[in-house]
Amino acid sequence: APMKDPLDLLDLSSQLDEQERDIQHTVRDFLADRARPQIGEWFEDAHFPRELIPELGKMGLLGMHLQGYGCAGVNATSYGLACLELEAVDSGLRSFVSVQGSLSMFSIWRYGSEEQKQEWLPRLAAGEAVGCFGLTEPDVGSDPGRMRTRAVRDGDDWILNGSKMWITNGGLADVATVWAGTEDGIRGFLVPRGTPGFSTSDIKHKMSLRASVTSELSFDDVRLPASARLPEARGLGAPLSCLNEARFGILFGVVGAARDCLQAALSYADSRIQFGKPISAFQLTQKKFADMAVSLSTSMLLALHLGRLKDAGTIRSEQVSVGKLNNVREALGIARECRTILGGNGISLEYAPLRHANNLESVLTYEGTSEIHTLVVGQALTGQAAYR
């Protein structure tokens, strides 16, 4: 039977098949036990729960929409629903799964050699190894074509120099997918932890995604064998295609964060009494709830539609931009509005909305900022690329 969910006004769960609903329930139940009770503390302590990684692997959540090499091979909609449940707990958990599955594993699965796939994918899928994806640099974010990290040939080897910034999972990673300029354009390389000259340092003092490891990667004359290069990745289109995979998980994920905020605010408003009645009985509060429920439902409808397009194999990147742009913007609006309903208590870590809102600031910026996605949609409509 469909999930009986008061937040599912439009009965959108009736649009899911049995396997999709099963996956969503299983992930939700697992997290209710293993993550939800601890998440406020992890966020406060800037702690990422590494012990969950093999459990996420066992549940098939790592590279879950990829085929073969120990990956679960479920449809894209199921992957989206898993992201939704992860992000309903915290965007940091969803970010881990997005980077591991859609950036690290997808880059190897799509562009790697057979040996690279055999070496890394089964371990990454099982959560026995962690991956990261280095595209952004200290001086290069929205315009990655101008990256400064370089890989230069030395006989059959490559010598890698440069640095990458804001890299999710960087300090945890056993293998980094690193994008670098070569005389032959942008290429991708797999750099294992421990390679001489490769070091990482974690970024401290974050006010967002605190339950997630974000790092700087440094490459100082790192010597790599020819077999470290991802043979099928040529040009900027390769890393951008990986980001497109991850964005798909995000446009589902943020619906989970928004749902969790709305749930917290509904429950609070029901028990908080002012002027002799529950604040849920005031018209202004109800208008907030109604607007948020409309926005949550339309975001979910959009996510499901894009899931069906992805499963049909017809989705275009500007459609993913529409989803990321709308759903992150709406989720952030919902998180902030829910915070107001909680009044002073809303600024406490005891309640989820401000934690989600702070997390969503990162989600608004990473994987293509909202401004860049706006201009991608603008380009699709007008044929003019205004961002360059």
Our CB check for ligand FAD shows the closer of 105 and 135 to be 135
Per rule CB under 6 A, count of chain residues that contact ligand FAD: 21
Q: How many other C-beta atoms are found inside a 10 Å radius of the C-beta of residue 220?
A: 12
Residue 214 half-sphere exposure toward CB, CA atoms < 13 A: 22
Residue with smallest beta-carbon separation from ligand FAD? 141
Query: Footprint of ligand FAD on residues 244-263 (CB under 6 A)?
Result: none
367 catalytic per annotation: yes
Q: CB under 8 Å, gap of 24 or more: what pairs does 335-339 form? A: 335/257, 335/258, 335/261, 335/360, 337/265, 337/288, 337/291, 337/292, 338/261, 338/262, 338/264, 338/265, 338/292, 339/261
Task: State which of residues 78, 102, 214, 326 lies at the interface with ligand FAD (CB under 6 A).
Answer: 214
Dihedral, CA of residue 203, residue 207, residue 212 and residue 215, to nearest 10: -20
Residue of 87, 119, 330, 367 with catalytic role: 367
Sole window of 2-10, 60-68, 135-143, 285-293 interacting with ligand FAD (rule: CB under 6 A)? 135-143
- Residue 134 found at the interface with ligand FAD (CB under 6 A): yes
204: left (phi over 0), alpha (psi -120 to 50) or beta: beta
In this complex, which beta carbon is closest to ligand FAD, that of residue 189 or of residue 268? 189
Which whole-number Å values give the CA distances from 345 to 3, 165, 338, 374, in the listed order?
Answer: 30, 35, 11, 34
Window contacting ligand FAD (CB under 6 A); options: 43-51, 116-124, 194-202, 362-370: 362-370
CB-nearer residue toward ligand FAD: 49 or 278? 49
- When binding is defined by CB under 6 A, the residue of 40, 49, 141, 231 that contacts ligand FAD is 141
Q: Smallest Cα–Cα separation from 124: which of 54, 177, 34?
A: 54
Stretch that binds ligand FAD, among 41-49, 153-161, 255-263, 361-369 (CB under 6 A): 361-369
Single out the residue of 369, 377, 378, 379 in contact with ligand FAD (rule: CB under 6 A).
369
Q: Given the rule CB under 6 A, which residues bind ligand FAD?
A: 99, 133-136, 141-142, 166-168, 209, 214, 362, 365-367, 369, 371-372, 375, 387
